Structure 1
Amino acid sequence: MRAFIAAICLFLLCGNAVANSVQDSTTPADAIVKALYDNLSAAYLCRDIVDADKYLKTRSVVEATMLAFTNKQDASETILKKWEDEIQINLKYQNQNISVEECNTLLRARTHQLYVAMDTLFK
C-alpha cells in the first residue's frame, strides 16, 4: 500500500493530470487524479451558473483528498494552483452556454467519477 500511495504522490507532484484525457486511466491512482482534476474543472466551468460557493466547496474536497494521500499542505496547494491556472486559461472553460440543469448534471457525474475511483482504490 505504501508503494501505491508513493506512486499517487509522485503522479500528483508531477502534475500530469489532464482534463478530459483521451487515454483511459490505467491505474486507480490515475483515475483518482483525473477525477480530482475533472471535478475542479467542472466546478470552475459552472461557478457563475450554479453557485460560486459550489466551486469553493469542490476545491476544498479536491484539496482534502490530495492531502489524504500526500500529507503535504504545500505540495497540495502548489498542485491545486497549477491546475487552477491551467483551467483559467483553457478556452473550453470560458463563457460556455451551459444551463443550470446541465451544470448540476455535470457536477453530479464528476462527483460520481471520484467516488468510483476511490472505491476502486480501496477494493
Structure 2
Amino acid sequence: MKKWIKLISLISVLFIMSCTNDKKVRPDTPENLSLLASLAINNQDYETLKSYFTETRKETINSEYFANLKEIKSNGAEFRTYSYIRINGKSLLLEIIKDQDTKTYKIQNIMVVPKELEGLFNTPNGK
C-alpha cells in the first residue's frame, strides 16, 4: 500500500509540475518590448523601463523625463512597429505588421519622413 501511495504522490507531483506554465513575456520581439515598456510606464517602474534601453542610451531617460511619462496611461494602447531606413539621404518609415496566417512580417505602409522631422531619428554618435 505504501508503494502505491508513493507512486501516486510521485505521479501527482510530476503532473502538477508539467501543468505549470512558466511563460513570461520577454523583450525578444519589438511587440513584446513595446508591451513591457507600456507596462513599466503604467506601473511607474522607472528601473525596469530603463533596463530596456541600450547601454549607450540608458542615461537619456532620467527621473524627470520618466515623471512626465507617468501621466500617460496605456489603457487601450495601440502598438505599431516601424522600421527606419535611410537611403541616398532620404528617410523612410516602414510600418510593419505580423501576418497571423503565415507568421511572417509584412510591410503595411511606407512613409517618406519630411526633412524637418529627420532629427527625431538621429541619435548622438550614431548609436
Q: TM-score, normalised by structure 1?
A: 0.23
Greater percentage in helix? 1
Structure possessing the higher relative contact order (Cα contacts under 8 Å, 6 or more residues apart): 1
Larger CA Rg, structure 1 vs 2: 2
Taking structure 2 as the reference length, the TM-score comes to 0.23
